[in-house]
Structure 1
Amino acid sequence: MDHTHHRSRRNHLRAKSRFAQAGYSLFDLIVTSAVAGVVGLGAVGMTGLVQDARMTSLVNQLMGDLNLARGESIKRNVAVTLCKSNDGASCSDEAAWREGWIVFADDNKNREVDTNEAIIRVQQTLAGDMTLRYGETDTYTYVRYNSSGEASRAATFTFCDGRGADKAKAVIVYWTGRPRVSTKTSEDDPLSCS
């Protein structure tokens, strides 16, 4: 009997021991929470990096297209226009800059792609929540470079995304035709996204 009672008690302790080990310790929960917090913070930081990279890429694309238009106007000895376009084939005053733009040789300076005028570059619609405007009130629909590489107007392109004016970037076009990137207006004021 004593032996049976001992075996019964051992089985009971084994069962109790298994039950006690089912679940997580406080230490396990603390470590898991810490890891989840670090991963969560990394994801938030990564989102900002992705948005910064997208903004930089688009700013560089516009800079490249403005420099391309300027260079082609000098090389071809004709006017070259960069205008907003929603179809990649013609200028559109009604289109938004975020819908894209084209660069083309504008021999007769009419801001229309005529049959003998070559489209040099097409920019498609901007990704995500990116907005782009040209001029303080977004009234400008094009910039034209003459055969000397001078711009038709001095004005600022402003890129914004959902993060607002603090993260906005500008491409300032001078009368000389040279563009530059900035985080402020040409008058050194903060950029506006409205």
Structure 2
Amino acid sequence: MQKQEFRSIHPMIQQHISYARSQALARRTTVVICSSESFVQCEKNKWHKGMIIFTDRNKNKQIDDGELILLKTEKKINYGSLTWIGSASSRDVITLQGDTGLPRGSPGSFYYCGHHNFDNNTRYKIGRMATLNKETTEKC
């Protein structure tokens, strides 16, 4: 079950980044990906529960009146943990700019850490061109 869960992480992250990037470009506005359990507001360290993608016109990394929630995704991760470690400017969220669809600087990395099979511990680094690079890691 953990192996199946592990295999779903990479495509899920890639799909969310691609969608957020295309929405930022199409709408010409900042788009944010954040974790959430309630799917109403961003909540810290709830990546194992779900994600929200939303427009962020005022660039405060929070969902405000007049900003659109573009996608809500429930993700029940039971056999490992999924965490995000972002850069200083976007520690808890992923921000894609409306002019390029890209993050500014180096946005950060997701970490999937298995509870039982540590061979699945993986870092998913988001590059400056919004590419997703996968590598095994001991950091968990």
Shared fold (TM-score greater than 0.5)?
Answer: yes
Matched position secondary structure for 1:98: coil
> 1:72-151 residue pairs with structure 2 within 5 A?
72-93=23-44, 95-135=45-85, 140-147=91-98, 148-151=100-103
Whose radius of gyration is greater, 1 or 2? 1
CA distance in 2, matches of 1:104, 1:168: 29
- Aligned to 2:22, which of 64, 71, 88? 71
Contact 2:85–2:92 under 8 Å retained in 1: no
SS at match of 2:70: strand
Higher normalized contact order (CA 8 Å, seq sep 6+, divided by chain length): 2
Flag as ranges the 4+ runs of structure 1 deviating above 6 A: none
The whole-number CA distance in structure 1 between the counterparts of 2:35 and 2:112 is: 14
Structure 2: state its 5+ residue gaps. Answer: none
Alignment partner, residue 176 of structure 1: 129
Unaligned runs of 5+ in 1: 1-49, 185-189
- Displacement of 1:127 after TM fit? 2.9
Distance across 2 between alignment mates of 1:111 and 1:142? 7
Deviations for 1:126-170, whole angstroms, at most 9, x for unmatched residues?
A: 23132011128xx93101000111214331101122234321223
Give the Cα separation in 2 of the matches to 1:183 and 1:52.
16
> Is 2:139 the partner of 1:192?
yes
For residue 51 of structure 1, what is the amino acid of its counterpart?
Q
Letter paired with 1:178: T
* Identity score, percent: 19
Aligned length: 135
SS where residue 91 of structure 1 aligns?
coil
Counterpart-to-counterpart distance in 1, 2:76 and 2:112: 10
Q: CA contact under 8 A between 1:59 and 1:169: conserved in structure 2?
A: no
Which structure carries more helix by proportion? Answer: 1
Cα pair 2:10 2:124 within 8 Å, conserved = yes
Aligned-partner residue type, residue 192 of structure 1: K
Letter in structure 1 aligned against 2:35:
K
| 1:26 corresponds to | none
User: Aligned-pair RMSD on alpha carbons?
Assistant: 2.1
